[in-house]
């Protein structure tokens, strides 16, 4: 198992995700896949019946949806993402979350999400996007977005300097674009459910890129057998 604790991956323009802890901890020398297998056997940590039999059992568990052993592995992340992402993320109530508060921490001038392109509204899906606007429209809207951010932040600072509380001054900030830092924790079973939904092509881009980062840089390196079974029995069925 690769030790990726402390590894940080950049996401979007100013966001990132970092694995800050997991169970079992890599220093114990017990791979997460083995912890899942041993939980199914109600055995002792570190006891194995060999890679072939261990992997076969893990695949059996996921194929037949015996999911409780997968809850024995947990991931804890520190995530910086714009509110437009968190608005999607909090729908997954199996995550444990604790968020940065704008009541205590003042926002910085660059704490706003600037997309690389403006996506068009999907014709068939009321809550999705598809395609992009033309280059001229994209540039014009981007300029207006930046001006909107600058004006809002200037008013935010003006309110703070006038003695307004941070919890009220933030009303001047463009809400959906503000970056927040969260601590989040989830077990492997519920993380797979999150990934199945948020890796899908019709998932909102601003959360899909975080799901992609979690899967590529953290889930797959630490749980290679589980990731292989997940791709075979879950992702393939979702397509």
Model pTM?
0.91
Q: Are residues 187 and 171 in the same domain?
A: no
Give the active site residue among 80, 170, 198, 208.
Answer: 198
Q: Which domain holds residue 210?
A: 8-98+179-238
In a domain, 129, yes or no: yes
Per the structure, the count of domains in the chain is 2
Q: Are residues 194 and 82 in the same domain?
A: yes
Q: Tokens at residue 58, please?
A: 């893990």
What pLDDT sits at residue 43? 61
In a domain, 18, yes or no: yes
Q: Which residue has the tokens 């001054």?
A: 169
Q: What is the CATH number of the domain that holds 186?
A: 3.30.1360.170
What pLDDT sits at residue 221? 96
What pLDDT sits at residue 45? 63
Whether 119 sits among the annotated catalytic residues: the reply is no
Q: Does the pLDDT value for residue 239 go beyond 60?
A: no
Last residue of one domain, picked from the residues 177, 197, 219: 177
What pLDDT sits at residue 209? 98
Q: Are residues 17 and 28 in the same domain?
A: yes
- 100 compared with 22, residue with greater pLDDT: 22
In a domain, 223, yes or no: yes
Quickly list DSSP for 52-70.
HHHHHHHHHHHHTT--GGG
Kindly state the percentage of the chain with pLDDT values over 90: 77
Q: Are residues 199 and 88 in the same domain?
A: yes
Q: Which residues pair with residue 10 across a beta bridge?
A: 16
Q: Tokens at residue 18, please?
A: 């970092």
């Amino acid at each position: 198992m690769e030790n990726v604790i402390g590894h940080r991956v950049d996401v979007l323009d100013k966001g990132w995700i970092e694995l800050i802890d997991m169970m079992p901890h890599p220093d114990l020398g017990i791979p997460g896949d083995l912890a899942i297998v041993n939980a199914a056997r109600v055995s002792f940590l570190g006891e194995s019946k060999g890679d072939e039999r261990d992997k076969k059992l893990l695949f059996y568990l996921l194929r037949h949806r015996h999911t409780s052993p997968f809850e024995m592995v947990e991931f804890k992340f520190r995530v910086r993402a714009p509110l437009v992402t968190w608005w999607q993320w909090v729908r997954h109530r199996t995550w444990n979350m604790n968020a940065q508060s704008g009541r205590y921490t003042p926002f910085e001038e660059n704490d706003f999400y600037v997309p690389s392109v403006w996506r068009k509204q999907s014709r068939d899906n009321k809550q999705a996007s598809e395609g992009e606007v033309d280059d001229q429209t994209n540039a014009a809207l981007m300029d207006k977005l930046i001006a909107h951010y600058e004006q809002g932040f200037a008013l935010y600072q003006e309110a703070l300097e006038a003695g307004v509380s941070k919890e009220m001054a933030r009303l001047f900030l463009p809400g959906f674009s503000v970056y927040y830092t969260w601590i989040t924790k989830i077990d492997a079973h519920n993380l797979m459910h999150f990934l199945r939904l948020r890796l899908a092509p019709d998932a909102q881009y601003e959360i899909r890129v975080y799901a992609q980062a979690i899967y590529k840089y953290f889930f797959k390196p630490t749980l290679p057998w589980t990731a292989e079974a997940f791709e075979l029995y879950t992702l393939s069925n979702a397509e």
